Structure 1
Amino acid sequence: MTEKKLTRDEVDKLAKTLYKAYAKQKPLDMHEFPEFDDDSAYAIQRELTDLKAKKLGGYKISLTSEETQKMFAATEPLYGAQLDERFFKSGVKLKQSMFMEPLVEVELVFTAKKELAATDSLEELMVKTTVAPAVELPDCRFKDWFPALPKHLVMADAAVGGAVVYGDEVPAEDFTLSELTKIHTELFRDRTKVAEGKSSEVLGNPIKALKWLTEKLAETNQVVHAGEHVSTGTFLLPVPLTPGNWEAEFDYGLSDVKFEVEK
């Protein structure tokens, strides 16, 4: 099937279909959607974000490892806009019913202290941000989505954004570039370890994912504004989100991230 550039009317129609699935929490069949190019996918995502009509909280970055890019036949990461109401502080209680088919990933979240520019170096980005340990909860408006969902639908569906739970923020410049590559995490559910991973899985260094995002957003005259969060990509392959007490433990002095999922 050949990728195509969608018309304005086609973008509008698909964005409204996705919004309806989001609002009513009724999953869509991915096989009923056409294939389309990256520009069309991001156009659908931008319209979907507008339809939600709520404050933007920031972005999530997906496909930041060679393994996940291969799973989705991608050659670079992709991003999704995330609502402010979907970023939570550690210790939160969440209802399973707020999700459709959620997963669990472990990441770092950078928060802009001032507007980020595509021309910022890695070192300048560290001066302009805080960093926090986080657990991201990807979710999707398509049924049976992982890992079968095509890349263009991942992009259209706001990079399968669900929620992000983050811990204590510290100045990113408290770390060296080298230290950001060495952070290790262990993920637990009801005190049973279910996964572990390391920050080098994220493009070699999570700050490189943030740099990629600033450059990608600039292509459509977008920026990361002061106060917005960026979840930069998973340390590990995702596991299913189920009810229970979840905790991610980090080294390098980062706080633990804890949350409960109720039935």
Structure 2
Amino acid sequence: MTNKAELLFKAYRDNAPLEKGKFNFESTQEAYQVQDDVLALKEENGEKHQGYKISLTSKETQDLFNSDSPLFGQMTDVTVKKDASLSLTDYNEPLLETELVFLVQEDVNGDDTDEEVMRKCLVAPGIEVPDGRYDDWFPKTTFYEVIADGAVNGAVVYGEAKQYSYDDVKNIEAVLYLNDQEVKRGNSEEVLGHPVNSVKWLAKALEERGEKLTAGRFVSSGTFMLPERLEAGNYRVEYENVGDVQLTVKP
């Protein structure tokens, strides 16, 4: 267990952010090892690994972090807000992203076809709340810092999950509302061309680590639009063909 992991876990537990640049990372592998160690500390604290979030799924977001590939973070059961509400005071500097959430019903393989992945997963309209364990983190943290911090995961909420085809979620629009006022719009093509590509990328990335994307996990597959700063109010995202999801944010 590294000192980096212990400090990141303490920052998470106490909601006390660390100074950016506090850690030096030598490689992507080291950053993921720290992420694994932080997850282990969360599990020792009673949390359960439940899913993944995928970040940097558009060229725009990759450019922000000087990357040419996505990255993933592991999320626990406490990050899933089943009552669709949260409080700003529980987070450091939270954002909001519009993402489809894939609920894995059957193990997904890295070489599965698009159609096989869609058959093996249910899809739900989702909202993901990124939050970093560093001060003034977005978009000023490094690629390695984001990985070590579990892809800056904070929370996820999702609506009704159903079976969809590849074409059902191809080139669809999401509209974000705050207190019934439209904030912005985004398209599923921003997610590696199609959200299923994000899930396939994750399955391959896990296999390279000797792991598997297994049934029972969720995957928050990547945002349709650049994130918004989270503020108090009532959010709603309407997804073409997929339905809507709501999140209440308390001060």
With normalisation by structure 1, the TM-score equals 0.91
Question: Matches of 1:201 and 1:225 in 2, distance apart?
Answer: 25
Aligned residue type for 2:146: V
CA shift at 1:158, angstroms?
Answer: 0.2
SS of the residue 2:236 aligns to: strand
Deviation at 1:258, TM superposition (A): 0.8
Identity across the alignment (%) = 40
Matches within 5 A, 1:172-191: 174-175=164-165, 177-191=166-180
Shift of 1:77: 0.2
1:134-213 superposed matches below 5 A: 134-171=126-163, 174-175=164-165, 177-213=166-202
> Which residue of 60, 63, 66 maps to 1:67?
60
In structure 2, the residue matched to 1:232 is: 221
Query: Which of residues 78, 82, 95 is equivalent to 2:75?
Result: 82
Find the counterpart in structure 2 of residue 256 from structure 1.
244
The RMSD of aligned alpha carbons is 1.2
**Are the counterparts in 1 of residues 25 and 31 from structure 2 also a CA contact under 8 Å?**
no
Distance apart, 1:32 and its partner CA: 2.0
- Pair 1:100 & 2:100 matched: no
CA distance in 1, matches of 2:81, 2:86: 9
**What secondary structure does 1:145 align onto?**
coil
Task: Give the CA deviation at 1:14.
Answer: 0.6
Q: Is the contact made by 2:124 and 2:158 (CA closer than 8 Å) also made in structure 1?
A: yes
Following superposition, the deviation at residue 118 of structure 1 comes to 1.8
Q: By how many angstroms is 1:180 displaced?
A: 2.1
Of residues 224, 234, 244, the one that matches 2:233 is 244
Q: Report whether the alignment pairs 1:110 with 2:99.
A: no
* Paired position in structure 2 for 1:214: 203
Helix, strand or coil at the partner of 2:81: strand
> Would the aligned equivalents of 2:103 and 2:216 in 1 still touch at CA under 8 Å?
yes
CA–CA distance in structure 1, aligned partners of residues 26 and 246 of structure 2: 39
> What is the correspondence of 1:45-60 to structure 2 with a 5 Å cutoff?
45-53=35-43, 54-60=47-53
| Correspondence for 2:26 | 36
Write the distance in 2 (CA, Å) between the matches of 1:225 and 1:34. Answer: 32
How far did 1:226 drift?
Answer: 1.1
- Tell me, in whole angstroms, the C-alpha distance in 1 between the residues paired with 2:144 and 2:175: 31
TM-score under structure 2 normalisation?
0.96
3-state SS, counterpart of residue 159 of structure 1: coil
CA shift for structure 1 position 95: 1.3
**Secondary structure at 1:47's aligned position in 2?**
helix
1:36 and 1:133 mapped to 2: Cα distance?
37
Residues in 1 aligned to 2:58 and 2:170: alpha-carbon distance in whole angstroms: 13
1:86 & 1:225 partners in 2: Cα distance?
19
Structure 1: distance between partners of 2:79 and 2:22: 28
Distance in 1 between residues matched to 2:39 and 2:184, nearest whole Å: 32
In 2, the alpha carbon distance for the partners of 1:258 and 1:192 equals 13
Mark the runs of 5 or more structure 2 residues left unpaired by the alignment.
none
1:185-226 CA deviation, whole Å, 9 max, x = no partner? 111111111121010000000000000000000111111221
